[in-house]
Structure formats: C-alpha cells, structure tokens
Amino acid sequence: MTKSLYSSLFFLSFVVALFGILPNVKGNILDDICPESFIPPLCFQMLRNDPSVSKGDIHGLLSTVLHLAQENNTSTYNLVKSILKQPIKDPNVKPK
C-alpha cells in the first residue's frame, strides 16, 4: 500500500479508536489509543513527538491528526494530478 493510503487508514482508525477510548484515557494518550488503531506502529511513529501528547491534550492531538491527514491528502492529490498530465505510454490504451 502507498504511504497516503496508510495515512488515510491510520487517520480513520485513529479517530474511531480515539472516540471509543476517550472516556477511559489514563496516563499516556498514545498508549491507550495507538494499539487500537489500524497500524499501531505508524500511530506511534507519527505522533510520538507531538507536544499535545505529553500534555495529555486530546483536542490538540486530534488537531494534529487532522493536520497530518490534510497534508497527506494534498500530496496524494498533487501526485495524481501530475500523473494524469503525463502522456499515455500503453499502446493498448487510446488517448482521449
């Protein structure tokens, strides 16, 4: 899978895990949330150095996750846009 797909899946699973665990968070937020995400190692890797994690700030953490998702979606959009501008190289595909 591509990095952007992993990031999108991570974001979705993170939000689901966040709202499922939110009432039970004790101590380190990542220790409670990341194991429940789709790809726990990616969750820890992307959020380990976020200052809102050390403060235990759920809203700041969610804001960070939304920002990461937006960055990854923008990069994916730009990649697809650049690929679509390239000429078709497959002889079996007719250009429009």
Domain ranges of the chain: 3-85
Please give the C-alpha separations between residue 58 and each of 18, 61, 76, 89, in angstroms, as whole numbers: 9, 5, 27, 48
pLDDT for residue 19: 56
Please indicate whether residue 37 or residue 57 has the higher confidence score (pLDDT): 37
pLDDT band at residue 95, thresholds of 50, 70 and 90?
low
Whether 23 shows a pLDDT value over 50: the answer reads no
At 74 the pLDDT is: 87
Residue-level pLDDT at 8: 66
pLDDT for 61: 80
pLDDT of 53 higher than 60 = yes
Which residues have a Cβ under 8 Å from the Cβ of 51 and sit 6 or more positions away? 60
pLDDT exceeds 50 at position 89: yes
